[in-house]
Chain A
Amino acid sequence: MEKQQEFVLRTLEERDIRFVRLWFTDVLGFLKSVAVAPAELEQAFEEGIGFDGSAIEGFARVHESDMIAKPAPSTFQILPWRAESPGTARMFCDILMPDGSPSYADPRYVLKRALAKSSDLGFTFYTHPEIEFFLLDSKPVDGTRPVPADTSGYFDHTPQAVGMDFRRQAITMLESMGISVEFSHHEGAPGQQEIDLRYADALSTADNIMTFRLVMKQVALEQGVQATFMPKPFSEFPGSGMHTHLSLFEGDRNAFHETGADYRLSKIGRSFIAGLLRHAGEISAVTNQWVNSYKRIWGGTQRTAGAGGEAPSYICWGHNNRSALIRVPMYKPGKTGSTRIEVRSLDSGANPYLAYAVLLAAGLKGVEEGYELPPGAEDDVWALTDRERRALGIEPLPQNLGEAINLMQHSELVAETLGEHVFDFFLRNKRQEWEEYRSEVTAFELRKNLPVL
């Protein structure tokens, strides 16, 4: 048996752990969990745990549903929120087919494949997410408007606010699970929080995001509130984005950096951005996968422009331009390692494995084909007129999920990256969501039409 496995089994014994949760993620990005007793774990390491894949969104159809979840002992963590003893622990799993080969339905494997491709080209892909979410008093399921847990604003540091306590406990818990936190503050809207995770390779980041969401919900519960990663719960407040800083390394060298170049951006960096821009439309259904995601992108950009209204609506890039889809942050002198680019379209409701996979693939496509980077946007693109934008060649992101689906379904890039199985499932599922939404009579219509028609 491997040492790591021994370590896990020994720890279970010593810490009196009664259950181990085996975690994996479905195609839509929901965390799934199978609890096993420590006694079953040894076998799980050897052979994995069989389960019925057809019960998991996007994994398998009924007749080919045998799947295996195989825990990765290196991801072993004791869960800090269950009262001391007896405790619970978790491990992430890889999903395998009955023959032991990795399942193409496993979002983790989608990302692993994309990373393997980038590694073939000599690159390592690092990501650094800034995750926004709301704390609410409760989560009503009947469609009524939720109430934010506080009324503070951007960077407010108010005594006794739920947020302060919440962030302290949340960060302690994250750190105790081995997830380093970079920065945290209150965001622009009431109840809104932002916590930045330290940069790490994309797979670790994605695992961390999955853990993060659960931890936030857990801590919120313990404080008597609710956490939501819904992209845009309030019409009048900014939505919850997951701006992510991306960088590529060639060995120890930052491949985006070139001393003396504009913005210190290398040829690779420029082509990578060009790739993200050119394919922004077709990957949109993955980076912004919900009907509600497009409310964040298009909702309230006029009202909340400037501080806080940080959702990009148009496909362009800029240097420190907060209205651009892609921002090249200010270069810190002497830090060649820190040259990076920030993608601002991603929202907190994305499946991080799939989203990072398509972002990486789009960027690498630009690098491989040597795309030319169009000129950067100097202005606030929200303030431009439609005609001005057209003159500058700046296209909008998809207006809604339906449009995003149509763009995605013709994308060889996305099909190749997600793999045909996930590609097919994802399109079907999203089309269904779009159709359900389309047939819904909304509060907007009732408010606008009912009184007058």
Chain B
Amino acid sequence: MPLGGRRDSRFGQLLRRGFTDPTDAARLLDAPALRSAAADGPLLDALAATADPDAALGALVRLAEAQPDGERAAFLDTLLAAKPLRDRLLAVLGASDGLADHLVRHPAEWRALVAFETADLHPGTEEFEAALADAADPDGLRVAYHRALLTIAARDITGTTDVAETAAELADLATATLRAALRIAAAAAPDDDAACRLAVIGMGKCGGRELNYVSDVDVIFVAEPADGADEGPALQAATRLAAHLMRICSDTTAEGTIWPVDANLRPEGRNGPLVRTLVSHLAYYRRWAKTWEFQALLKARPVAGDEALGAEYAAAVAPLVWQAVERENFVSDVQRMRRRVESSIPAAQAERELKLGPGGLRDVEFAVQLLQLVHGRTDPELRGSSTLDALAALAAGGYVGRQDAASLDASYRFLRTVEHRIQLRRLRRTHLMPTEEAELRSLGRSLGFAGEPVKELTAAWRRHTAGVRRLHEKLFYRPLLDAVARLDAGQLRLGQDAAKERLVALGFADPAAALRHLSALASGVTRKAAIQRTLLPVLMASFADSADPDSGLLNFRKVSDALGTSPWYLRLLRDEGAAAENLARVLSAGRLAPDLLLRAPEAVALLGAAEGLAPRPPAALAQEIQAAVGRADTAESAVAVARGVRRRELFRTAAADIVGAYAPDVAPHEAPGQALDRVGSALTALNAATLRGALTAATAAIGHRPPPARLAVIAMGRFGGHELSYGSDADVVLVHEPAEGADERAAAEAASAIANEMIRLLQLPSIDPPLLVDTHLRPEGRNGPLVRSLTSYAAYYRRWSLVWESQALLRAEPVAGDADLGRRFTELIDPLRYPVGGLDQDAIREIRRLKARMEAERLPRGADPTLHTKLGRGGLSDVEWTVQLLQLRHAHEVEALRTTRTRGALAAAVGAGLLDAEDAEVLDEAWVLASRVRNAVMLVRARPQDTFPADARESAAVARYLGYEPGTVGRMLDDYRRTTRRARTVVERLFYEG
């Protein structure tokens, strides 16, 4: 490249002025169309001040070239002479390729940027209307619209107007445009116009006077027949006018498009009639409308057409908006809407999103609108429509903390400005941060980051997003704490009534009690109160998301009262982010976990450590219990320790279960059956270890050394199948064998004494939950001896065994005591439960008949068979009997069927071709669902029950555990009935036929 001295210095000058390609810039400056202007210092400086000097210069040359020969001189002279024009024009050229193209296409339009009157600096709807007055067709309207848009952009970029004013101007321009479009549509069809009165209601950001550069303009149409006209034809006329208006704005012509007009917020959305009468609108809103529709109506503002009708509409709709909070489903709708907003964003773009996603613009807007709905009913000051105005009003009324409001205001303005500038560049609708360096650079420069635009822009963006992130806590919950804590005497606070109003909207049934708890937790100057004040907004958010916010808060208060001053507890809450949130979940998901926790609150510590919620390995558990038992002085104290360990582990299992169920995004996606199996295995291992500890203690207590009999505990039923629930008893049978040379009777007595002692120790009254041992599955049931010797079992089974006993033995698995004896017991029963050759027809008939009788007799009176998890249609027992019949018939030939686990046997049966994969899936799904319901009921009520709770809050909590949205208990029951009905169909075919 030939670099002469003069060129070199020009190169340097251009580089310093921010041109990224000085060579090209120099070439452009030499373009004949610019002539003398190229040497002008102020012009170069003005170019340098734009967001993108290269683009600005390129566009300037194109614009100069586009001037007709007679006009070019005037253009260049004005450019050089008038600084205001120069700054505005170049600012636009540097910030918007779209508007630059428009200027080049219409070379005379630059004159729109010459402003003399002060009214030009802050135009309103009237001024825009005047500017659009001459447009008589869609093309003319497009040109005039873009001319006006040009002036808005110029004032925006040069700093004459701030982001809120710009957004308001854009909305005013939209208003004027809709009016002009309606004028054109009416002129095209005067008969239609005469037949009706049509009003256009602005919604969304247009209604709120906070429009973007490029976005759909949301509207609703309302019409009435003109005097003397019939309603039907009048509505048709109005519909034609409205449809024409929409086309005038949204069609793409030679002059491009304006924006799409979106009328989908109307009653019945896309499917509803485009135009309705006022009465029809109101009828819909009274009868059908959903909470979000009232939220949308918050922004309704008549913008075009018949003013009187528009005003009537606004007046009629406003009261509905402010009563929305009293609607029956308001609280659950709001919970649902909040969850949806938070989770609505595709992950791939989350990083670059300005609008959606946590901390995005939508989040701020949504939260502010919600507070308007909640408090606007009693406080008319809050009924303004733009987000920033409403936020200011909320702060002024004390509904939101002043500082929080100020920082939100700043962040919202920043994010909106960025959004505006991104859209301006190509006049496209987008809310994604650009990825290219060059675009980021000009974006940063347009926001005034001159030094290192990309770096500064990125930093500012991060800062503001972080500021918005804890938004709900700041907006919804922190003001509640300020209300009760009363720390700064001077500060404006949420009044008691407003605080209660808000608590009710958040789902608290007893707001007075909630305020009392908050006050007790957060008042005062202690370190504990200070930490809890910071923490409670987070916790309250979790409570509000649960089915029983009141209990969550009450339980937290109890934990806090018990532990509040221990330093580790405060440290845990303060430092471990997840701990507080997990605690909130656990405390508000039902009674079982809080009950376990409140018996010994130190277990809160489990929620802090990362591995705290992982189940303890069975070996470690066994070792801990055996060691404790070994150290203890008496059998009572030994078992007390073991039961303490059990309580702690029960809590751990329940807490992990709840945390996993309520935050599926935390636990990587897991099938419901897997989580269920984990709970079953953990509880089974836990009860086994506890039994072992108690057996050791009981053996020592009986006092013979060595004992005259060895004892083995055989788990049966769900215990044997590793399928225990929180509320299950431990089903066992007990077997002993006299020691070498011991007297048989003495051995039997000793074994019986040990067993009785073990059972007694496990259910001694104490603060820890008892482990109830159930031995009714033993031969001869309650009439038979508690413990039998192995030889006695052998004799019994040789002579008496019944089919149902063989069936029960399918689930037998040794869990405690002498391992060798356990193994030999298993060998003894294997021929019974896996009979060679399967079952004969008599045995099959007997089992079927037994089951049929059970179905008729066992179900408790008044119970709903479609909802009974255990004995109901398609419930646990149906599935298990079907599986067990398969096992009895085929386990002798299919090794894999020899398992105590229901799901394992199902899979094995499919593997061996005994069961259709589809049938197995239907059965598995029902069994897993019924088991989960049973677990959920126990977690919620802390008492076992074989059906769904009758209490509304309890059944809601069960639904939440199962992953249902708030307010969908009915759907949960419907799904349960459907799943089990299908299972029942399979059971009837597999169990009763074939």
Docked Cα-Cα span, A436 to B955, in Å, equals 37
CB neighbours of B862 from chain A (8 A): 61-63
CB neighbours of B329 from chain A (8 A): 100-101
CB neighbours of B332 from chain A (8 A): 100-101
Contact with B along A409-421 (1 / 0, CB 8 A): 0000001100111
CB neighbours of A2 from chain B (8 A): 286, 320, 323
CB neighbours of A73 from chain B (8 A): 286
Docked Cα-Cα span, A267 to B319, in Å, equals 44
Shortest distance between the CB of A6 and any CB in chain B (Å): 10
Q: Is A4 an interface residue, CB under 8 A from the partner? A: yes
Instruction: Report which of A99, A101, A123 forms a contact with B953, defined as CB distance below 8 A.
Output: A99
Instruction: Report which of A3, A102, A122 forms a contact with B270, defined as CB distance below 8 A.
Output: A122
Contact with B along A44-82 (1 / 0, CB 8 A): 001000000000000001111010001011100000000
Which 9 interchain pairs have the tightest Cβ spacing?
A: A420-B977, A98-B952, A99-B952, A62-B862, A74-B287, A104-B970, A61-B864, A4-B286, A101-B967
Instruction: Report which of A98, A99, A124, A420 forms a contact with B978, defined as CB distance below 8 A.
Output: A420
Q: Is B268 an interface residue, CB under 8 A from the partner? A: yes
Count A-side interface residues using an 8 Å CB cutoff: 38
Instruction: Report which of B268, B953, B967 forms a contact with A124, defined as CB distance below 8 A.
Output: B268
Q: Is A240 an interface residue, CB under 8 A from the partner? A: no
Q: A74-B286, A249-B271 are in contact. List 20 more A-B contacts (CB 8 A).
A: A1-B323, A2-B320, A2-B323, A46-B326, A63-B864, A64-B948, A74-B283, A74-B287, A101-B329, A104-B970, A104-B973, A123-B271, A124-B268, A252-B239, A252-B274, A415-B978, A416-B978, A420-B973, A421-B973, A421-B977
State the A residues within 8 Å of B (CB): 1-4, 46, 61-64, 66, 70, 72-74, 96-104, 119, 122-124, 249-252, 415-416, 419-421, 423-424
Using CB atoms, name the residue of chain B closest to A102. B970
CB neighbours of B863 from chain A (8 A): 61, 63
Known: A2-B286, A99-B953. A251 touches B981 (CB 8 A): no
Whether the pair A251, B967 counts as a contact (CB closer than 8 A) is: no
Shortest distance between the CB of B841 and any CB in chain A (Å): 28
Whether the pair A251, B286 counts as a contact (CB closer than 8 A) is: no
CB neighbours of A66 from chain B (8 A): 950
CB neighbours of A101 from chain B (8 A): 329, 332, 967-970
Docked Cα-Cα span, A183 to B951, in Å, equals 50
Known: A3-B319, A99-B967, A421-B977. A64 touches B286 (CB 8 A): no
Docked Cα-Cα span, A101 to B330, in Å, equals 11
Q: Is B866 an interface residue, CB under 8 A from the partner? A: yes
Whether the pair B286, A421 counts as a contact (CB closer than 8 A) is: no
CB neighbours of B69 from chain A (8 A): none
Interface centre among A4, A61, A97, A420, by most chain B C-beta atoms within 10 angstroms, is A420
Instruction: Report which of B320, B326, B328, B974 forms a contact with A421, defined as CB distance below 8 A.
Output: B974
CB neighbours of A421 from chain B (8 A): 866, 973-974, 977
Instruction: Report which of B272, B320, B328, B974 forms a contact with A70, defined as CB distance below 8 A.
Output: B328
CB neighbours of B950 from chain A (8 A): 63-64, 66
Docked Cα-Cα span, A102 to B328, in Å, equals 11
Whether the pair A103, B970 counts as a contact (CB closer than 8 A) is: yes
Whether the pair B271, A251 counts as a contact (CB closer than 8 A) is: yes
Shortest distance between the CB of A61 and any CB in chain B (Å): 5
Using CB atoms, name the residue of chain A closest to B975. A420
Whether the pair A97, B287 counts as a contact (CB closer than 8 A) is: no
Contact with A along B946-962 (1 / 0, CB 8 A): 00101111011000000
Binding site secondary structure of chain A: mixed
Whether the pair A424, B977 counts as a contact (CB closer than 8 A) is: yes
Instruction: Report which of A64, A74, A96 forms a contact with B864, defined as CB distance below 8 A.
Output: A64
Instruction: Report which of A1, A100, A419 forms a contact with B328, defined as CB distance below 8 A.
Output: A100
Shortest distance between the CB of B285 and any CB in chain A (Å): 9
- Of the A-B pairs whose beta carbons lie under 8 Å apart in the complex, a sample of 28, sorted by A's number, is A3-B320, A61-B863, A63-B864, A64-B950, A70-B328, A72-B287, A73-B286, A74-B287, A99-B952, A99-B953, A99-B956, A101-B332, A101-B967, A103-B970, A104-B973, A119-B271, A122-B270, A124-B268, A249-B271, A251-B273, A251-B274, A415-B981, A416-B978, A420-B973, A420-B976, A420-B978, A421-B974, A424-B977
Whether the pair A100, B974 counts as a contact (CB closer than 8 A) is: no
Using CB atoms, name the residue of chain B closest to A96. B328
CB neighbours of B978 from chain A (8 A): 415-416, 420
Instruction: Report which of A72, A74, A104, A123 forms a contact with B974, defined as CB distance below 8 A.
Output: A104
Docked Cα-Cα span, A252 to B266, in Å, equals 14
Known: A251-B272, A415-B978, A421-B866. A97 touches B328 (CB 8 A): no
CB neighbours of A103 from chain B (8 A): 970
Shortest distance between the CB of A414 and any CB in chain B (Å): 12
Docked Cα-Cα span, A252 to B275, in Å, equals 10
Shortest distance between the CB of B984 and any CB in chain A (Å): 11
Whether the pair A424, B981 counts as a contact (CB closer than 8 A) is: yes
Docked Cα-Cα span, A97 to B954, in Å, equals 13
Docked Cα-Cα span, A251 to B268, in Å, equals 9
Shortest distance between the CB of B326 and any CB in chain A (Å): 8
Docked Cα-Cα span, A419 to B329, in Å, equals 21
Whether the pair B952, A97 counts as a contact (CB closer than 8 A) is: yes
Using CB atoms, name the residue of chain A closest to B243. A252
Shortest distance between the CB of A305 and any CB in chain B (Å): 40
CB neighbours of A74 from chain B (8 A): 283, 286-287
CB neighbours of A249 from chain B (8 A): 271
CB neighbours of A62 from chain B (8 A): 862
Using CB atoms, name the residue of chain B closest to A68. B328
Whether the pair A99, B955 counts as a contact (CB closer than 8 A) is: yes
Docked Cα-Cα span, A210 to B342, in Å, equals 44
CB neighbours of A419 from chain B (8 A): 974
Whether the pair B967, A100 counts as a contact (CB closer than 8 A) is: yes
Contact with A along B329-371 (1 / 0, CB 8 A): 1001000000000000000000000000000000000000000
Whether the pair A424, B328 counts as a contact (CB closer than 8 A) is: no
Shortest distance between the CB of B931 and any CB in chain A (Å): 19
Using CB atoms, name the residue of chain B closest to A422. B974
Docked Cα-Cα span, A4 to B970, in Å, equals 28
CB neighbours of A72 from chain B (8 A): 287
Using CB atoms, name the residue of chain B closest to A109. B970
CB neighbours of B970 from chain A (8 A): 97, 101-104
Shortest distance between the CB of B821 and any CB in chain A (Å): 46
Using CB atoms, name the residue of chain B closest to A94. B328
CB neighbours of B273 from chain A (8 A): 251-252
Docked Cα-Cα span, A61 to B860, in Å, equals 12
Docked Cα-Cα span, A100 to B509, in Å, equals 13
CB neighbours of B953 from chain A (8 A): 99
CB neighbours of A63 from chain B (8 A): 862-864, 950
Docked Cα-Cα span, A98 to B953, in Å, equals 9
Whether the pair B268, A119 counts as a contact (CB closer than 8 A) is: yes
Instruction: Report which of A64, A99, A250, A420 forms a contact with B271, defined as CB distance below 8 A.
Output: A250
Docked Cα-Cα span, A445 to B53, in Å, equals 102
Known: A2-B320, A252-B274. A424 touches B866 (CB 8 A): yes
Docked complex: B957-994 residues within 8 A CB-CB of A = 967-970, 973-974, 976-978, 981
Shortest distance between the CB of B529 and any CB in chain A (Å): 35
Docked Cα-Cα span, A416 to B971, in Å, equals 11
CB neighbours of A98 from chain B (8 A): 951-952
Docked Cα-Cα span, A40 to B992, in Å, equals 54
Shortest distance between the CB of A237 and any CB in chain B (Å): 40
CB neighbours of A99 from chain B (8 A): 952-953, 955-956, 967, 969
CB neighbours of B323 from chain A (8 A): 1-2
Shortest distance between the CB of B238 and any CB in chain A (Å): 12
Using CB atoms, name the residue of chain A closest to B950. A64
CB neighbours of B974 from chain A (8 A): 104, 419-421
Contact with A along B816-845 (1 / 0, CB 8 A): 000000000000000000000000000000
Shortest distance between the CB of B205 and any CB in chain A (Å): 25
Interface centre among A70, A99, A250, A252, by most chain B C-beta atoms within 10 angstroms, is A99
CB neighbours of A119 from chain B (8 A): 268, 271
Shortest distance between the CB of A354 and any CB in chain B (Å): 15
Using CB atoms, name the residue of chain A closest to B862. A62
Using CB atoms, name the residue of chain A closest to B981. A420
